[in-house]
Amino acid sequence: MRNAEIKRTTAETDIFLQLNLDGRGIGEIATGCGFLDHMLTLFARHGRFDLTVTCKGDTFVDYHHTVEDIGICLGQAFKEALGSKKGIIRYGDITLPMDEALILSAVDISGRGGCYYALEIPTQKVGDFDTELDQEFWIAFAQNAGLTLHIRQLTGRNSHHIIEGAFKSVARSLKAAVAIDPAYANEVPSTKGML
């Protein structure tokens, strides 16, 4: 089983996260931010990852520290769960429709962290969630997972749909990228011999 457990405690957040890459899509999420709970639940379902997240954060300030720190922990969990990366497909991409929104994501589990984010979210908030935090989450995730992540909005006008489309799209791209190719089960998919 490719899994990881991350505990991270700072003056701003206290996070416990468990990840199983070969799960059934079960999400047990309690971050203190309802919208983020929703996004992580559907991320788990669409990636077929079993994901448990609990966070006690300084949400009386805002959700920034909670969102960014969970992105950090989720990225660290992916990196740990992937281990040597032997046998993985490495790449994944999808163009995913979410009603009027159409979101493209592409992943390379390269060992190099980078997030290339091109979403234009029309409102500053969805509920009480600051929409600019979506980008902060994906940057923290990609840097800590050591993967290259592209997220691009092809169309869309509803902020909720755009962000939800991104979470679903990235989950599906990651599902493809972390899958094991039986023909190459003992090989690292790189001419360098490591990722």
pLDDT digit string, tens, across residues 108-154: 999 999 999 999 999 999 999 999 999 999 999 999 999 999 999 99
CA 187 to chain centre: 25
Instruction: Please give the DSSP secondary-structure letter assigned to residue 184.
Output: G
Residues 6+ apart with CB under 8 A from 103: 95, 96, 119, 151, 152, 153, 154, 156, 162, 165, 166, 168, 169
78, part of any domain? yes
**Number of alpha carbons in the 13 Å side-chain half-sphere of residue 175:** 19
Q: Give a yes or no: residue 91 inside a domain.
A: yes
pLDDT tens digit string along 16-73? 999 999 999 999 999 999 999 999 999 999 999 999 999 999 999 999 999 999 999 9
CA distance 58 to 12: 6
pLDDT of residue 126: 98
> In this structure, is residue 190 part of a structural domain?
no
Q: Say what the pLDDT of residue 195 is.
A: 79
The reported pLDDT for the residue numbered 36 is 98
Separation CA 32–CA 55 (nearest Å): 7
pLDDT band of residue 187 (cuts 50, 70, 90) is confident
> Does some domain include residue 21?
yes
Give the residue from 68, 59, 55 showing the smallest Cα distance to 132.
68
53: Cα within 13 Å, side-chain hemisphere: 30
pLDDT for residue 5: 98
**Is the confidence at residue 186, as pLDDT, over 90?**
no
What's the CA gap between 121 and 82, in Å, rounded? 32
Q: Is residue 191 part of a domain?
A: no
Q: Domain total for the chain?
A: 1
Confidence at 1, pLDDT banded by 50, 70, 90:
confident
Q: 62 in a domain, yes or no?
A: yes
Residue 139: give the domain boundaries. Answer: 3-184
**Res 9: pLDDT:** 98
Q: What is the CATH number of the domain that holds 63?
A: 3.30.230.40
Mean pLDDT of 150-159: 98
pLDDT at residue 194 is higher than 80: no
The reply to whether 115 falls in a domain is yes
What beta strand segments (E) does 79-186 contain? 91-98, 101-108, 114-118, 125-126, 129-130, 148-155
Strand order in the sheet with 27-30: 3-9, 13-20, 50-57, 27-30
Residue 81 domain-assigned (yes or no): yes
The pLDDT score that the predictor gives to residue 37 is 98
pLDDT for res 192: 78
**Going by C-beta distance under 8 Å and a sequence separation of 6 or more, which residues neighbour residue 11?**
none
CA nearest 140: which of 20, 17, 52, 27? 17
Q: Is the pLDDT of residue 193 over 80?
A: no
Dist CA 16 CA 6 (whole Å): 6
